[in-house]
């Protein structure tokens, strides 16, 4: 375990340096309740892992935090100020940027064209390819992202490289908070390492706070300062990475699964009786 | 550690091994180099066809008169129409009405000058503007209302055809005296039309590859949601490309008028539009958007024009020409699809 806690004095309950906070957030779609009274916080410069089974409510929470959808009730605080996120664009203008699995990259364009998509360097009336190539190369080198060439079409890159480019593009606009939706999904160990390295580097620079949704507990604990587990729409665990282990997290999930299974069996028995 | 070491060997080993151990000899390797450039296929086919007719027909084919027919009369209008269709196809749309813009623009100019006393130059300007307006209407129904462009432009095309036929009573008209002089520049000299086409193609190539407009056009067709998330005004791009296509339709309409020396109700229509789309597609533009090149469409148009010009020379009569033409288009497309597959395999 190499993960260091920047502010070990502050316990999980601290609210002093929180850049983002969700209080009593609930979300329901008609009769289906996706989130129930969620309290979550993200400290400045912190990397928070959001884990839990499929359908537990991780993505719902992320979609609320990035302005994609409003909560049914509850309040979001940015830098201690209550805010209402009207749209993804609005959230982005406040410095909250999400990188989705669909990545929003254009496969038919090159790496540097994607990095500067809609932020092109112009030497009127043309785009200044040379400047954009140079800056892309510099930025990617800084972030330690390795790709064959900035002139490669994005379609030719691997999944990990694509994800890295998408994250790098978000970092380009200097967000305060970066939300990564399953950046490690469907990725091999080597591919995943590209993203984990990138997150570590961003953490070391300390300009951005990050929330990562992930499935692999080992990888989460490797890069995250703290983990929150969501089960059935509630946060059931909030611990520093150093205070827990992949084994503990797995046991919690398995125990939950066994409990649900037992309950269902009991229900079945009652029904048949 | 040993795990990662093994993996990295495997990963670098595979691409290195493939070209050496891959199927085929040097011939296929040359083919593969050509296949990598989308435009190369259609360029090679166009040149081969050109040389075939030149060798087989000698001065029949290479005479100035025939080359003017081939390049100015046949190729130039296809090229100019194809430029607009390439932009539209790349951003995921199509314009089936452009051939009727082509037909209506000269009538519109004729009505303005002869019936309403509008000065010649202004009438030409307004005729060009007509194409832009039709493009904006196509954009409105496609982007704002949400009707697929195939249907939108089918509708506006029919409406324009109706306007041509009802207002002209199906009769050709003479070029208004006011605007005859200007025509020299649009169409008067033998090589004028192809020169227009080459200059416009060069401009559109730069527009597509070296400007924000071009990059955003590719983005909209390649990943519309992603483009929108990046803050690109998707509807503005689509409106703009419809308007550009309409403008080119008007231009070709006026040029056709000067070339044929009259205003005909049968000018343009579906044939020229489909030639333009065909030129774009055999030049490597994807029907589903996201990719395409101006150079490919340019040589695609030359290829079609060469077929159109060369087949009658070798004695294929006009009735059977369509059969040969259709088969040639299918053949060119099969080749293109095959080479695209080869290209993708080379990349993966």
- Among positive and negative, which fits the CA dihedral A244, A249, A250, A255? positive
pLDDT exceeds cutoff 50 at B10: no
Confidence of residue A1 (pLDDT cuts 50, 70, 90): very low
- Asked if residues A20 and A65 have their Cβ atoms less than 8 Å apart, the reply is yes
Q: Rounded to a whole number, what is the distance in Å from the CA of B306 to chain A's nearest CA? A: 31
CA A162 from centre of chain: 16
State the architecture of A18-272 in CATH terms: 3-Layer(aba) Sandwich (3.40)
Three-state secondary structure of A68-107: CCCCCEEEEEECCEEECCCCHHHHHHCCEEEECCCCCCCC
Alpha-carbon gap, residue B82 to B245, rounded angstroms: 9
> What's the pLDDT score for residue A264?
87
> What's the pLDDT score for residue B36?
58
pLDDT, average across residues B284-311: 91
- Among positive and negative, which fits the CA dihedral A146, A149, A150, A154? negative
ω before B161 within 30° of 0 (cis)? Answer: no
Alpha-carbon gap, residue B126 to B132, rounded angstroms: 10
Q: Would the CB atoms of B232 and A122 count as touching at under 8 Å?
A: no
Asked if residue B57 belongs to a domain, the reply is: yes
Query: What does the block give as tokens for A180?
Result: 């990564």
pLDDT exceeds cutoff 70 at B12: no
Q: Hey, which residues does A42 pair with through a beta bridge?
A: A20
**A137-188 pLDDT, tens per residue?**
998 998 888 899 999 999 888 888 888 898 888 888 889 999 998 888 767 7
Query: What does the block give as tokens for A187?
Result: 């990725």
> Which long-range contacts does B1-8 make (Cβ < 8 Å, 24+ apart)?
B3/A189, B4/A189, B4/A190, B7/A188, B7/A189, B7/A190, B8/A190
Contacts B347 to A, Cβ<8 Å: 155-156
> What's the pLDDT score for residue B180?
82
> What's the pLDDT score for residue B343?
61
Of B211, B222, B232, the CB nearest to A118: B232
Q: Rounded to a whole number, what is the distance in Å from the CA of A121 to chain B's nearest CA? A: 9
Q: Would the CB atoms of A105 and B11 count as touching at under 8 Å?
A: no
Query: Would an 8 Å CB–CB cutoff place A156 in contact with chain B?
Result: yes
Query: Would an 8 Å CB–CB cutoff place B223 in contact with chain A?
Result: yes
Q: Which residues contact B151 (CB under 8 A, 6 or more apart)?
A: none
Alpha-carbon gap, residue A178 to A94, rounded angstroms: 12
Do β-strands A96-99 and A81-83 pair in parallel, antiparallel, or remain unpaired? Answer: unpaired
Burial (CB < 10 A; 0-12, 13-18, 19+), residue A106, is buried
Q: What is the pTM of this model?
A: 0.81
Q: How far is CA B302 from CA B45, B67, B96, B298, in A?
A: 10, 11, 21, 6
**B62-84 pLDDT, tens per residue?**
999 999 999 999 999 999 999 99
**B150-173 pLDDT, tens per residue?**
999 999 999 999 999 999 999 999
Of B4, B210, B223, the CB nearest to A127: B210
pLDDT, average across residues B266-285: 91
The count of domains in chain B is 1
- Asked if residues A209 and A20 have their Cβ atoms less than 8 Å apart, the reply is yes
**A76-115 pLDDT, tens per residue?**
999 999 999 998 888 988 999 988 766 779 999 999 999 9
Alpha-carbon gap, residue B224 to A100, rounded angstroms: 15
**B101-121 pLDDT, tens per residue?**
999 999 999 999 999 999 999
Q: How far is CA A53 from CA A257, B72, B129, B167, in A?
A: 10, 66, 59, 69
**A35-57 pLDDT, tens per residue?**
999 999 999 999 999 998 878 88
H/E stretch holding B199 reads helix B192-210
Query: Would an 8 Å CB–CB cutoff place B11 in contact with chain A?
Result: yes
- Among positive and negative, which fits the CA dihedral A214, A217, A222, A228? positive
Task: Supply the range of the domain harboring residue B336.
Answer: 30-347
Phi then psi for residue A150, to 5 deg, are -70, -15
CB pairs under 8 A between A and B: 64
Q: Which residues contact B7 (CB under 8 A, 6 or more apart)?
A: A188, A189, A190
Burial (CB < 10 A; 0-12, 13-18, 19+), residue B211, is middle
pLDDT exceeds cutoff 60 at B273: yes
What's the CA angle centered on B314, arms B308 and B317, to 5 degrees?
Answer: 65
Of A102, A107, A113, the CB nearest to B215: A113
Give first-to-last CA distance, chain B, whole Å: 27
Asked if residue B7 belongs to a domain, the reply is: no
pLDDT exceeds cutoff 90 at A205: no
Confidence of residue B25 (pLDDT cuts 50, 70, 90): low
Mean residue pLDDT across chain B: 86
Alpha-carbon gap, residue B74 to B193, rounded angstroms: 10
**Between residues B36 and B254, the one the model is more confident about:** B254
Alpha-carbon gap, residue B200 to B249, rounded angstroms: 13
- Chain B interface disruption, residue of A93, A108, A124, A194, most B CBs within 10 A: A108
Alpha-carbon gap, residue A27 to A118, rounded angstroms: 33
Of A192, A228, A270, A189, the C-alpha closest to A62 is A228
Closest residue on chain A to B4 (Cα): A190
Say which CATH number the domain at B228 has: 1.10.3470
Q: Would the CB atoms of B226 and A89 count as touching at under 8 Å?
A: no
What is the total residue count of chain A? 273
Of A102, A103, A109, the CB nearest to B222: A109
Q: Would the CB atoms of A120 and B8 count as touching at under 8 Å?
A: no
A85: alpha, beta or left? (left if phi > 0; alpha if psi -120 to 50): beta
Alpha-carbon gap, residue B183 to B258, rounded angstroms: 6
Q: Would the CB atoms of B223 and A105 count as touching at under 8 Å?
A: yes
pLDDT, average across residues B250-275: 93
Confidence of residue A17 (pLDDT cuts 50, 70, 90): confident
Chain position carrying tokens 């050496």: B20
- Asked if residues A24 and A36 have their Cβ atoms less than 8 Å apart, the reply is no
Alpha-carbon gap, residue B215 to B234, rounded angstroms: 12
Alpha-carbon gap, residue B66 to B51, rounded angstroms: 14
Q: Would the CB atoms of A126 and B347 count as touching at under 8 Å?
A: no
Query: Would an 8 Å CB–CB cutoff place A30 in contact with chain B?
Result: no
> What's the pLDDT score for residue A194?
82
Query: Would an 8 Å CB–CB cutoff place A127 in contact with chain B?
Result: yes
- Greatest mean pLDDT among A141-155, A227-241, B193-207 lies in B193-207
Alpha-carbon gap, residue A105 to A169, rounded angstroms: 10
- The DSSP output letter for A40 is E
H/E stretch holding A268 reads helix A246-272
pLDDT exceeds cutoff 60 at A6: no
């Amino acid at each position: 375990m190499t993960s260091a806690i920047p502010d070990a004095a502050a316990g999980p309950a601290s609210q002093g340096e929180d850049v983002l906070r969700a209080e009593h957030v609930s979300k329901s779609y008609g009769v289906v309740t996706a989130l129930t009274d969620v309290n979550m916080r993200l400290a400045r410069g912190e990397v928070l892992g959001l884990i839990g089974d499929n359908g537990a409510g991780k993505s719902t929470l992320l979609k609320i935090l990035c302005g994609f959808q409003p909560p049914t009730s509850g309040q979001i605080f940015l830098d201690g100020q209550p805010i209402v996120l009207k749209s993804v664009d609005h959230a982005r203008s406040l410095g909250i940027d999400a990188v989705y699995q669909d990545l929003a990259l254009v496969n038919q364009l090159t790496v540097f064209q994607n990095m500067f998509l809609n932020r092109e360097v112009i030497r009127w009336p043309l785009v200044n390819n040379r400047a954009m190539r140079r800056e892309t190369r510099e930025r990617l080198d800084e972030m330690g992202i390795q790709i064959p060439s900035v002139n490669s079409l994005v379609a030719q890159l691997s999944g990990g490289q694509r994800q890295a480019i998408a994250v790098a593009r978000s970092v380009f606009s200097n967000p305060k908070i970066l939300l990564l939706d399953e950046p490690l999904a469907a990725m091999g160990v080597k591919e995943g390492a590209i993203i984990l390295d990138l997150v570590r580097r961003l953490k070391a620079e300390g300009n951005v706070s990050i929330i990562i949704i992930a499935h692999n507990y080992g990888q989460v604990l490797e890069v995250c300062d703290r983990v929150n587990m969501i089960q059935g729409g509630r946060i059931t665990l909030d611990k520093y990475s150093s205070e827990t282990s992949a084994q503990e997290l797995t046991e919690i999930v398995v125990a939950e699964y066994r409990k649900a299974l037992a309950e269902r069996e009991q229900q079945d028995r009652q029904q048949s009786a | 550690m040993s795990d990662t070491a093994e993996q990295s060997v495997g990963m670098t080993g595979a691409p290195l091994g493939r070209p050496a151990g891959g199927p085929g000899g040097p011939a296929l390797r040359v083919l593969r180099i050509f296949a990598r450039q989308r435009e190369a296929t259609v360029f090679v086919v166009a040149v081969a066809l050109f040389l075939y007719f030149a060798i087989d027909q000698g001065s029949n084919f290479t005479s100035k008169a025939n080359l003017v027919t081939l390049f100015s009369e046949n190729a130039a209008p296809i090229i100019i129409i194809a430029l607009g269709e390439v932009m539209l196809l790349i951003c995921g749309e199509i314009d089936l009405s452009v051939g009727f813009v082509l037909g209506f623009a000269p009538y519109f100019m004729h009505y303005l000058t002869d019936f309403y006393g509008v000065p010649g130059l202004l009438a030409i300007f307004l005729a060009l503007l007509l194409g832009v307006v039709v493009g904006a209407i196509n954009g409105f129904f496609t982007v704002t209302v949400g009707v697929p462009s195939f249907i939108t432009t089918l509708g506006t095309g029919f409406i324009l055809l109706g306007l041509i036929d009802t207002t002209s009573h199906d009769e050709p008209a003479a070029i208004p005296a006011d605007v005859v002089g200007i025509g020299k520049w649009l169409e008067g000299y033998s090589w004028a039309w192809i020169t227009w086409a080459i200059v416009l193609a060069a401009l559109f190539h730069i527009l597509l590859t070296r400007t924000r407009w071009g990059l955003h056009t590719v983005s909209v067709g390649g990943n519309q949601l992603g483009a929108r998330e990046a803050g690109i005004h998707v509807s503005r791009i689509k409106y703009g490309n419809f308007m550009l296509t309409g403008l080119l339709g008007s231009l070709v309409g006026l040029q056709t008028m000067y070339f044929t020396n009259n205003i005909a109700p049968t000018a343009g229509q579906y044939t020229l539009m489909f030639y333009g789309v065909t030129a774009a597609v055999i030049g490597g533009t994807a029907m589903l958007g996201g990719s395409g090149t101006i150079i490919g469409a340019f040589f695609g148009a030359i290829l079609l024009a060469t077929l159109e010009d060369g087949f009658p020379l070798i004695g294929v009569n006009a009735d059977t020409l369509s059969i040969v033409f259709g088969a040639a288009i299918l053949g060119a497309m099969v080749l293109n699809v095959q080479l695209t597959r080869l290209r993708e395999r080379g990349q993966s």
